Amino acid sequence: RVWVTYGTEVFDVTDFVELHPGGPDKILLAAGGALEPFWALYAVHSQPHVLELLRDYKVGELSPEDAAKPTGDTEDPFAGDPPRHPALRVNSLKPFNAEPPPELLTQSFLTPNELFFTRNHLPVPSVEPGSYRLRVEGPGGRGLSLSLAELRQRFPKHEVTATLQCAGNRRSEMSRVRPVKGLAWDIGAISTARWGGARLRDVLLAAGLGDKTGEDGEWHVCFEGLDVDASGTPYGASIPLKRALSADAEVLLAYEMNGQELPRDHGFPVRVLVPGVVGARSVKWLRSVVVSPSESPSHWQQNDYKGFCPSVDWDSVDFSSAPAIQELPVQSAITEPRPGAAVPAGEITVKGYAWSGGGREVVRVDVSLDGGRSWRVAELGPRPARGRGWAWALWELRAPVAAGTRLDIVCKAVDSSYNVQPDSVAPIWNLRGVLSNAWHRVPVTVTR
């Protein structure tokens, strides 16, 4: 049977599951735990009649031990990690890596902070905002050391609605072709927020670092986080200086996410936010910004997050032979229905997201119900009117379906450069399982 808690009370909601106005799949996400985190996300629940309705299902109280919060282990470097939303699907607990379930991913254009996919490489640092300092330096520049207050006050706040995607999103589909090294992300290592912060461009210009884009090759901006491994080595990454200095590229040193201060899991108090670029370059818990003639020497810049030919294995790989991933290719996935679902005959509603890197807006999503033999054009949801295509498009297709049939639902997106997704996974397979952007396929059966 299905139970949930609210405060210290326990409710058996088995008979309510099918009556849930948001659908049975949504209420089942809370099964076996507390309702509060879900009700906090969906404001429709904060009405008196909802709680009254719940009281009808009360079956008891939590024991005092179960109601008490667990105590941390002081030997564990991850003991200081923040609490997380129970709806997140955890791919790795330490370091914490988790994605929202597909059913919630496309519930809203902006992903609630609590559900935004989290990709941590190391323990979450505890930062005292009053003593935080951001170091900004480079050859010929005036070194800056900025407090959080200075970052907020010296530079105009700029806001960008942008999607972040992990290079490993949809890796689990690639693993099914041949095993790869990496976390088994499903389709949820992608989320969208409204970010606020100082433009990196403004900060670099204030530090006298705006003039390194001449003829002497490409320069870079290297970022380091406050998150460190056991040897004290921080997470690091870099982007081309040209992008950092471009007003159009809108690279931020962000301190706000959907109108709130950055959550600890997303880089409190300051993170880099590079629109249109793989999430790995949007360094969290930012401690330094260094302009350099070379890319970041970090492991994650040099020997990870790169793409290779399917024939390259761990014996033959030469990481120096491939460029570090920056802009990501065009992507889309189906969030509803779920693979293997049984859907009622009549009309099916297919939902999903589509996005492309580099500010290339999604111009069309094609959906097939017959494995790619025939295609229909999905309806794209509303998107911000202004600015470049930094954010995803949510899309939907309604189509009649006959009882007793099997559907092989497929989606593929087209971006403003008319780039398309590849048909199949095997030819883009790579040993790290990154850049998995083949057509997304969801088989379902039609009942009744």
Which residue numbers are catalytic?
A: 20, 45, 119, 166, 305
Token pair recorded at residue 429: 């397979």
Out of 33, 86, 310, 443, name the contact with its own copies by CB under 8 A: 310
- Which helix (H) or strand (E) element contains residue 271? strand 271-273
204 Rama sector, left if φ>0, alpha if ψ -120 to 50, beta otherwise = alpha
Out of 18, 65, 215, 315, name the contact with its own copies by CB under 8 A: 215
CB-CB neighbours of 431 under 10 Å: 21
- Residue 367's DSSP bridge partners are 376, 411
Q: Residue 195 or 305: which CB sits closer to its own copies?
A: 305
The site map against its own copies for 100-129 (x = CB under 8 A) is ------------------------------
387 Rama sector, left if φ>0, alpha if ψ -120 to 50, beta otherwise = left
Does 178 interact with its own copies (rule: CB under 8 A)? Answer: no
Min dist CB 427 to its own copies, Å, is 6
Q: What is the 3-state secondary structure (H, E, C) of 341-353?
A: CEEECEEEEEEEE
Q: How far apart are CA 430 and CA 438, in angstroms?
A: 13
Tell me the window of 36-44, 107-115, 130-138, 308-316 that interacts with its own copies (CB under 8 A): 308-316
Out of 77, 263, 372, 443, name the contact with its own copies by CB under 8 A: 372
Does 431 interact with its own copies (rule: CB under 8 A)? Answer: no
Tell me the window of 25-33, 98-106, 171-179, 409-417 that interacts with its own copies (CB under 8 A): 409-417
Tell me the window of 20-28, 157-165, 261-269, 413-421 that interacts with its own copies (CB under 8 A): 413-421
Does 168 interact with its own copies (rule: CB under 8 A)? Answer: no
**Residue 428 near residue 397, CB atoms below 8 Å:** no
The site map against its own copies for 339-358 (x = CB under 8 A) is ------------------xx
Does 53 interact with its own copies (rule: CB under 8 A)? Answer: no
Amino acid at 344: P
| 3-state SS, residue 131 | helix
Out of 91, 107, 296, 326, name the contact with its own copies by CB under 8 A: 326
Segments of 8-148 assigned E as strands: 9-12, 58-61, 89-92, 97-99, 118-119, 133-137, 144-147
Does 214 interact with its own copies (rule: CB under 8 A)? Answer: no
Measured at the CA of 125, the angle between CA 160 and CA 7, to 5 degrees, comes to 85
Min dist CB 297 to its own copies, Å, is 21
Closest CA to 24 of 443, 381, 336, 367: 336
Tell me the window of 30-38, 60-68, 230-238, 307-315 that interacts with its own copies (CB under 8 A): 307-315
Per CB under 8 A, residues contacting its own copies are: 215, 307, 309-312, 322-323, 325-330, 357-358, 363-364, 366, 372, 374-377, 386, 412, 414, 416-424, 427-428, 435
